[in-house]
Copies of this chain bind each other. A is one copy, B any other.
Amino acid sequence: MKTLFHYNWQVREDWYKWCEDVPQDELLKARIGGVGGILHTLFHIIDVEWSWIRGMQEKPDFQESFDGYRSLEKVRKLDAEFKPEVGNFLLAWNDGMEDRILQDMRPDGTKVIFTHGEIMRHVIAHEIHHIGQLSVWAREIGKKPVSANLINRGLSMKIK
């Protein structure tokens, strides 16, 4: 679990660096698919990760829209604000937490029960999926995307 979160955070950091060389209008440009833009995707990833981590702790959710975060600097700042709490949750994570329950309500009033283990994997997959969308948009603007490889990132590799 921890390796996949660390992978996502490394890749996300690589995308922030990638964004530094891209004009802001390209980062904000409306695009087809996903949430419709590069920076908006990064904001959405942070938002969703934090919201689920907050939910599992029974703390209030993040409710703001992308409108207030339309620059790389603001998105990075938000990430830096949220990361310590997410990091602490992950640090404390152990197999015994897998079956803890989060109750949620669907718009139609149906009660839904998720396990924390399921939510953690959902958060992981959510980020990787959206990063895949960024990789297409990167090519559309003629730039090589960040590598999505999990190997060769030093997450548990040794070179001899």
Q: How far is the CB of A51 from chain B (nearest CB, A)?
A: 13
* Minimum distance in angstroms from A43 CB to a CB of chain B: 16
Contact between B128 and A132 (Cβ–Cβ < 8 Å)?
A: yes
- Select the stretch in A14-22, A59-67, A135-143 that faces chain B: A135-143
Question: Do B121 and A7 touch (CB < 8 A)?
Answer: yes
Binding site for B on A (CB under 8 A): 3-4, 7, 31-34, 110-115, 117-119, 121-122, 124-126, 128-133, 135-140, 145, 148-152, 155-160
CB distance from A150 to the nearest CB of B (A): 4
Contact B112 A126 (CB under 8 A): no
- For this complex, 27 residue pairs linking A to B, each with C-beta atoms less than 8 Å apart, are A3-B118, A4-B121, A4-B125, A31-B136, A33-B135, A33-B139, A33-B140, A33-B145, A110-B159, A111-B160, A112-B157, A113-B158, A113-B159, A114-B151, A114-B157, A118-B155, A121-B150, A122-B151, A125-B128, A125-B148, A126-B149, A126-B150, A130-B132, A131-B132, A132-B135, A133-B136, A136-B137
The residue in chain B whose Cβ has the minimal distance to the Cβ of A52 is: B151
A150→B110 contact, CB < 8 A: no
Q: Which residue of B is nearest A128, CB measured?
A: B128
